[in-house]
Structure 1
Amino acid sequence: MEGVVCLCGEVNEMNKHDLIFDQPIARWDEALPLGNGLTGCLLWGNGEPLRFSLDRGDLWDLRLTPEVLDTGFTYAEMIECVRRGDQEGLLSRFDSIYEKYPYPTKLPAGRLELRFGRPADHVRSHLAIREACAHVLMAIGDRTVKVDSYLHAVNGLGYIQIGGAPFEGIRLDIVPPDYAGALPHNSADPVFNTSLTRLSYPAATMHEEGDVRWFYQCTCQELEYAIVVAERQTASGHWEAVYTIAANHDGEQWLENAKRKVKEALDAGFDAAFRDHCAWWERYWGKSSITLPDAEAEKMWYLNNYLFASCSRKGSPPMPLQGVWTADEGLLPPWKGDYHHDLNTQLSYWHYLKANHLEEGESFLDFLWGLRPEAKRFAQSFFDAPGINLPSVMTLTGGAMGGWPMYSMSITNHIWVCQAFDHYWLYTGDGDFLRDKAYVYFKETADCVQRWLTPGEDGKLRLPVSSSPEIHDNSLKAWLEPISNYDLALLIYLFRRLHDMAERLAYAADVERWAEVLAKLPELAVNERNVLMVNPEECLMESHRHMSHMMAIYPLQLLDRRGSERDRKIADATIANLEVLGKGQWVGYSFAWAAAMYAQQGNGEAAIYHLQQMWHYTCSPNGFHLNGDYKRAGVCMFHYRPFTLEGNFAAICALQEMLLHTDGQTIRAFPAIPREWAANDVEFRDFRGEMGVLVSARMSANRLEYVELHAERGGFFRVQNDFQSERLQIRIGDKTNELVCGMKDILTISLQAGESCMVTVL
């Protein structure tokens, strides 16, 4: 990655995955990111000041707009507006509220600023991802000052330590957000340039009590919060500070408790707390690993798994658009930092299961399950339907925020949200989760959707309105007849998975019920060149950022490339058509999504090429996905840089798909790696396969050396023979068996829970 150098002039084994910069970091979206799931910190600057931009995941202005609360805010009204071609009605009732009001929105917390009296002459910044600790070394005149900082993985507090006496002239300022400040609102660009002053909050008040200082911020709703800091010079010759972001979510004595915690932590010391913090991260990194001959790809896998654990943690809210790193620019965050369900939340949680980071990803599932009461209320109030459905652009608590109505109020986007439950069940093999949560969530979603499914003239089921994110943007042309491939693919997926789950659970009546619905759905629209269409009346004729018409290929995987020649032709022709249309209107995540499709195709060269395009041209030097080609390298037409996280994790998902396929419960090692990788050494350890099995494998000099399985649950596991031999050896415990299996054929291995199996060439 551009801008990365080693502190000592060369990269060694200990820091080759770290972020290391040999110049001051001048922007918040290029900063060293720290996080513990609830709290985030971005460390950047030149010493005058050195900034700690702070965030907390549950700081939200949750005020809903009057239009959302109006009785006319319904799906039926949206349908009527579409049918009469009333674009003005659609905009005024459903869309303009997103820009008209500054709320609801994610809120920044504020920042800490360390000042050393003058800018540093030289700054070296280092994020050690193994221990999740930032180190900033500054030469200031004849002094060398070292600042170390981490956000504790367990107790949630932030720690700062400064070494390099003397400390005279060092000042720590607590800076609240600029709610009453000077930055004007740019009405021409309300999505990216809305001033915090539009929220009309009172200015924060500053307080001090011995070693403890804080600001107190009240808002125009129930939310109150504070940044609380305790600081002192220690007997060991360091200056130390402990901070926290406290809010009235934390209980009645929230502020007093915060002051007590930072004082106690300061007494305990930086080093003592660091041991427990490192122990948590050591356990996290022990869950899985990779070794690649491609240093950049390997680094990005580790860096993004670091980002994932920093911004998604069980017990904390799942990541919205910017995770725990809300923009520090005196403005509302891009797109208000909301929860987008037309791809953003889904892509953000694509990779974690295969990477074997279950607990961190469970944040999203727990969140969705906890919002079922709100999803039921929204299904009733907006869709006039039973079951559940969430707004596709929503707040932390599931409130509708408005926006382009065909996407922000889509009835099918919630089906894509359902896939998180399906994937968790498939990867863990947890039958209780299937019965008690996955099937329930799918069924309740179907209850809502079926309220609006009606037969058309051909007798096939359709929705009253249909669209395909984000084709034709926010125009009347975006409403597609009779049904888009996007909506249809999601409907097929919903009822196919319900059918398969009901079979697994032996719900005979439900199996028949879902089969009947499936039989009434039309086929996906395909043109004469075997390319998936946008809908039966329109082909995609130009490049587009959202691969919505291709959902059947990935992530829904409705097409069986290996079992159906027709499906293979459709998938391959549709992917090839991307190359015909070009990438002019892509954004960063488009490259990642395309890479995942090429990986499904087995095309490792194309997959890594598209990942490199994203990493090189649409990612900040710290790895953050900035959506646009902000370097103006010519890879796409968007040259902006709004930071969102979904592209980061979609890319790592694609990288993992290059290393391991587990679809159809068949394990295929290294199905889509580039030729250069195969000629060298490639290895992954403890990737999660389907039905509760962990998979490890290694390839060297174009030969698969081993595949190892570890069963968390007993069962039969299918492995494709990708060895260059038909004679294989299988070792389970102290027993070794030899067998003959044709190359590319499937061998089935029976394992008990806790057993491991090693497959090698005889």
Structure 2
Amino acid sequence: MVLKNGDNLNENITVNCSGRGSGAKCFFLLIFSLIITSVIAQIPASTEQNNIAFDGKGLSIDRQAFLSQHDIVYLSPATEGYEGFPIGNGDLGAMSWTPVDKIHFQINKTNTWDDAPEGMFSPWEDRNNPEKSEKFTSLRSCGQLMIEPGLPGFDWMYLEDFEGRLSLSDAQATWKAEGPLGNIRCRSFVAGGDLPVMVVHYEDELSDPVERRVKLARWGSRVFEHWYQFFRRDFHLGNEGTEVGTEGDETWIVQPTRSLTFAMAAKLVGPGVNAQRFNSHEAGYILNTGKRCSFNVFISVVTSEEADDPLAKARENVRAAAEAGIDKIYEAHKQRWADFWSKSFVDIPDDYIENLWYMNLYQIGSSAKGDYPPHFINSIWSWNRDVRPWNHYYQWNQQIYTWPLHASGHPELMMPYAKWKREGLEKAMETAKLAHGIDGAFYSDVSDRRGNQGVGEGASEVSNSFGSSGLMAMDLWRHYQYTLDEAYLEEYAYPVMREVVRLYTNILQKEDDGMYHIPEALPFESPKDRLSKNTTNDLASVKNLFPAFIETAKKYKQDKELRIKAQEILDNLAPFVLTTIPEEAKPWGPVNVGDTIIAYGTRLRTGEPGEPWVTRPYWLPNAPIEMPCSFHPINAQLTPVFPANLVTLDDEGTKLFDACRNMALSFDPLPNNGHSLIPISYARLGMSEFLPDLLARWVDEFQLFSQGHFCYFKRDFIDYFEKGMHDELYSSAEHTIRGLTNNVRVMFSDPEEKIGLLRQPFAHMALEPGSVLEATINEMLLHSHSGKIRVFPAVPDDWASCFKLHARGGFEVTSEQAEGEVKYIAVKSLKGQPCRIVNPWEDGGEIRVREADSAKNLLKATNEKEFAFKTEPGMTYVIERVNKPVSSFDLQVISGVKNRDAKIKGRARIGIPRQF
């Protein structure tokens, strides 16, 4: 067994403290235990130079034990929903927590939509038109399940022991509470496959013979899509039309929206009681008044877009689940998650950050298998009824959850996003004509689930930005690069890529210099005063997409005229705009005034007609460079590095590479918002010396919630109160206190009224910072974007690391490193493509490539900088040094010790320690 950082030796050391001299003996044994624990905490897997976990075919891992060290452990009850445990099957999910007198589940789904009328919209048109507020398309919550023991069994005042555990290996939440009021046990998971049901098992033994109540409820609410600026006092909104019903041991709620109907059904198996209606929004069960109670609850949610009679289907699901039984459902559920975790593996020395890598992958795997992508705000983990600040799909934010998925071995989690974009293609083409008068597909940064694009009044920062279309098309192309799925390419990616290419061919203009230029556009989500020529993100999109489109169009023998035009533009495209760090700047990193950087374009002064184009600096107007940066222009500047893959380690030493590196180092890499390209760009550019500190700071600022969820607001974020949004400091951390957000306008008030609105009910997680962290770690361990595999390209030499990740071209890559030395590379070919490797032992002697079960060398003797070999589908190939082959290492099994407590890193925390 290899003990990991964060292991708890208390499980394995028993101290006998009875008898004479027990005090001294216990003291010395305790000191010994602490010393050993401290030493082992510094020794991650594969630290010993002569050990590997690779058995010749794959990694030797006790995966359940390894993952158990990353369980989320609460030793005190989570009394607020934002601290809850997320459980889900990819479509149906719940946030679950324990107020003093109940176990509370907020149940959500990916497709319970309440749609606005069809057509383009402005996401801010309710600013001056209150009638529009609360009428945008929104994703509604399904409802609540509440199990009430009848005594305050989760109140810390009456607890002797408590543990809540989110087990990542089997995606199950469990709770146990013990005290003078009695003992309570509960477990819950959400099954997938043929029985998509939420399962809850509850049992207790209480001090008094009290009533237990189990309630199924739907209390909707206003969405508060712009709560931080204005809201309306229509208290009935979100609660209209709810119908409650019961029959025997089943209860249900049917909720209509403007566009569909969904039904939530529950079946209780246990004490033999009939369900009853409590009120117009609640139904449930009153259980026996004995001291002991045990039951199972099965819950299903179905929409009218999934079944003609959603209630009948939901009831069918819970009946089938009850007949199958919890044990059978759990075994299938556990196997599905075992298969999920087998696709990838990451082992790095920082236990806390490694924990977050697994937690982020877990929660995306629990929420990204439905009809629509998980919303970047709260995903399916909303806890407060229908509240969802930032209500629309925002492309910049929304795409980020997809960035780590392919390297992490889960391209299937990309498909809801790809389907959504493909289904919205026709409306994107209509929008290009209506908003810009050109052919092609214009995907605004803001859209709804049906592909209606947010353009028009009050939306100039997205209406005039073409970068969202380019980013999205690159996302779709990336999926093909990893999977080589030809059916996907033809059905999803190619049609979208073609129309985005068409859009750009109609935007680009040929000038007197014979080159094609972007005449005017905005960097991502930027105000009008950043209108620029040759925006870097658009040029990067063209350089990435056009070759992919041309290659695919040739293969399909389609779109010849467009293909020829695309090739002409590509051959004569304007270069990226470079500039220098000006004299007044105070760069953050090791760069100097006068060093070349990449600009976000050539900025147009818009003050007077006819004013010339001038290269402008890349920070906020009149703001010193050391202040919090304007992250969207910086994201535009770094697009050639990621996600366009145009600047790689192969370009090291070139002017463009240095310009991008200098750009990345000019600002403090921790911007105000956690949806920045800077961490991933550091990894792409091989800047390993900066990454451990950056990751630690990233976690310290953005991981705000105890179960491991992030928010895009920094812990110390200062909002732009000068813009009139607030008159006091505001930060996401203050979501969790009952402070006020001031200057919130009350709509329809006359005269206009502004109030201090409570912050705490609006706490929300966000997908972006966790996915940036996961993608950054992937890029530190493996590069494949330049058509070749490069292992440990941005890992510090003192990191002992091991991984199994996926590479473009359909390859599964495994490797281990310690003390700056790569021990081997193993490549499994999934598609039989040629494989090219960057040699990690360029000065280390001869290399050989062999099939995993053979000693035959498939490669001519070489110590070249890189080399290639042919592969066959399903075969694993070992790349090793002749003078230190895999057989010369000792085999170890990677394992772990089950986590028993909260973990702390800086101001961040995973879990909740004992607080009573």
TM-score with structure 1 setting the length: 0.86
1:390 corresponds in structure 2 to 443
1:86 corresponds in structure 2 to none
Matched, 1:306 2:362: yes
1:105-143 Cα shifts (integer Å, max 9, x gaps):
222222111112233234421001110110011225341
More displaced 10-residue stretch of structure 1: 455-464 or 139-148: 455-464
1:756 corresponds in structure 2 to 876
The letter for the 2-side match of 1:532 is I
1:21-79 Cα shifts (integer Å, max 9, x gaps):
1111133222100111211200112342321011111112211388x47xxx8xxxxxx
1:361-382 Cα shifts (integer Å, max 9, x gaps):
2232233223333333433444
- Counterparts of 1:65 and 1:630 in 2: how far apart (Å)? 38
Instruction: Give 1:443-592 correspondences, 5 Å limit.
Output: 443-455=498-510, 460-463=515-518, 465-471=520-526, 474=527, 476-478=528-530, 480-502=531-553, 512-528=564-580, 529-536=595-602, 537-541=615-619, 542=625, 543-546=629-632, 547-563=635-651, 565-579=654-668, 583=670, 585-590=671-676
- Counterparts of 1:461 and 1:240 in 2: how far apart (Å)? 66
Matched, 1:231 2:285: no
The letter for the 1-side match of 2:420 is F
2:830 corresponds in structure 1 to 712
Which of 778, 793, 803 aligns to 1:684? It is: 803
CA contact 1:105–1:332 (8 Å) conserved in 2? no
1:62 corresponds in structure 2 to 115
1:128 corresponds in structure 2 to 167
Instruction: Give 1:336-415 correspondences, 5 Å limit.
Output: 336=391, 338-341=392-395, 343-401=396-454, 404-407=459-462, 410-415=465-470
1:538-571 Cα shifts (integer Å, max 9, x gaps):
2112412332222112221222442361122112
Residue 423 (structure 1) shift: 0.9
Residue 668 (structure 1) shift: 0.9
Identity %: 18
- Give unpaired runs (5+ residues) of structure 1: 74-89
Matched, 1:279 2:316: no
In structure 2, relative to structure 1, the CA distance for the partners of 1:42 and 1:165 (3 Å cut) is: same
Residue 169 (structure 1) shift: 2.4
In structure 2, relative to structure 1, the CA distance for the partners of 1:728 and 1:95 (3 Å cut) is: farther
Matched, 1:173 2:215: yes
- Counterparts of 1:98 and 1:587 in 2: how far apart (Å)? 31
Matched, 1:627 2:712: yes
In structure 2, relative to structure 1, the CA distance for the partners of 1:621 and 1:326 (3 Å cut) is: closer
- Counterparts of 1:132 and 1:8 in 2: how far apart (Å)? 25
Instruction: Give 1:425-436 correspondences, 5 Å limit.
Output: 425-431=480-486, 433-434=488-489
The letter for the 2-side match of 1:572 is R
Matched, 1:189 2:273: no
The letter for the 2-side match of 1:207 is G
The letter for the 2-side match of 1:143 is G
Matched, 1:653 2:775: yes
The letter for the 1-side match of 2:216 is I
**Secondary structure at 1:354 match in 2:** coil
2:821 corresponds in structure 1 to 703
- Counterparts of 2:492 and 2:731 in 1: how far apart (Å)? 42
The letter for the 1-side match of 2:171 is A
CA contact 2:95–2:105 (8 Å) conserved in 1? yes
In structure 2, relative to structure 1, the CA distance for the partners of 1:147 and 1:408 (3 Å cut) is: farther
2:371 corresponds in structure 1 to 316
The letter for the 2-side match of 1:117 is G
More displaced 10-residue stretch of structure 1: 14-23 or 404-413: 404-413
CA contact 2:88–2:366 (8 Å) conserved in 1? yes
Which of 20, 25, 33 aligns to 2:73? It is: 20
Residue 512 (structure 1) shift: 4.1
2:737 corresponds in structure 1 to none
CA contact 1:632–1:639 (8 Å) conserved in 2? yes
2:24 corresponds in structure 1 to none
The letter for the 2-side match of 1:429 is L
Residue 460 (structure 1) shift: 4.5
The letter for the 1-side match of 2:844 is S
CA RMSD, aligned part only?
Answer: 3.3
Matched, 1:148 2:199: no
- Counterparts of 1:747 and 1:419 in 2: how far apart (Å)? 28
In structure 2, relative to structure 1, the CA distance for the partners of 1:195 and 1:153 (3 Å cut) is: farther
In structure 2, relative to structure 1, the CA distance for the partners of 1:229 and 1:188 (3 Å cut) is: closer
In structure 2, relative to structure 1, the CA distance for the partners of 1:51 and 1:753 (3 Å cut) is: same
Which is greater in Rg? 2
The letter for the 2-side match of 1:750 is K
Matched, 1:666 2:788: yes
In structure 2, relative to structure 1, the CA distance for the partners of 1:124 and 1:633 (3 Å cut) is: farther
Residue 511 (structure 1) shift: 5.6
Higher relative contact order (CA 8 A, sep 6+): 2
**Secondary structure at 2:183 match in 1:** strand
In structure 2, relative to structure 1, the CA distance for the partners of 1:188 and 1:736 (3 Å cut) is: closer
- Give unpaired runs (5+ residues) of structure 2: 1-5, 13-40, 42-64, 273-291, 581-594, 603-614, 620-624, 720-728, 734-763, 883-916
**Secondary structure at 1:554 match in 2:** coil
1:296-317 Cα shifts (integer Å, max 9, x gaps):
222122111111110111x532
- Counterparts of 2:555 and 2:178 in 1: how far apart (Å)? 65
Instruction: Give 1:23-172 correspondences, 5 Å limit.
Output: 23-64=76-117, 68=120, 100-119=133-152, 120=154, 121-122=158-159, 123-154=162-193, 155-165=195-205, 168-172=210-214
1:184-203 Cα shifts (integer Å, max 9, x gaps):
x7987247x67784746515
CA contact 1:659–1:670 (8 Å) conserved in 2? yes
In structure 2, relative to structure 1, the CA distance for the partners of 1:162 and 1:92 (3 Å cut) is: closer
In structure 2, relative to structure 1, the CA distance for the partners of 1:186 and 1:602 (3 Å cut) is: closer
Residue 588 (structure 1) shift: 2.1
CA contact 1:467–1:483 (8 Å) conserved in 2? no
CA contact 2:104–2:144 (8 Å) conserved in 1? yes
- Counterparts of 2:124 and 2:377 in 1: how far apart (Å)? 26
- Counterparts of 1:751 and 1:423 in 2: how far apart (Å)? 22
CA contact 2:405–2:414 (8 Å) conserved in 1? yes
CA contact 1:36–1:152 (8 Å) conserved in 2? yes
CA contact 2:672–2:714 (8 Å) conserved in 1? no
Residue 645 (structure 1) shift: 0.6
**Secondary structure at 2:387 match in 1:** coil
**Secondary structure at 1:605 match in 2:** coil
Aligned residues: 715
The letter for the 1-side match of 2:335 is A
**Secondary structure at 2:596 match in 1:** coil
1:79 corresponds in structure 2 to none
In structure 2, relative to structure 1, the CA distance for the partners of 1:643 and 1:125 (3 Å cut) is: same
Going by fraction, where is helix more abundant, 1 or 2? 1
TM-score with structure 2 setting the length: 0.72
- Counterparts of 1:633 and 1:386 in 2: how far apart (Å)? 42
More displaced 10-residue stretch of structure 1: 552-561 or 617-626: 552-561
1:565-611 Cα shifts (integer Å, max 9, x gaps):
112211221111124xx64x521233xx3221111121223223222
CA contact 2:378–2:388 (8 Å) conserved in 1? no
- Counterparts of 2:225 and 2:372 in 1: how far apart (Å)? 30
The letter for the 2-side match of 1:640 is S
- Counterparts of 2:345 and 2:503 in 1: how far apart (Å)? 41
CA contact 2:645–2:786 (8 Å) conserved in 1? no
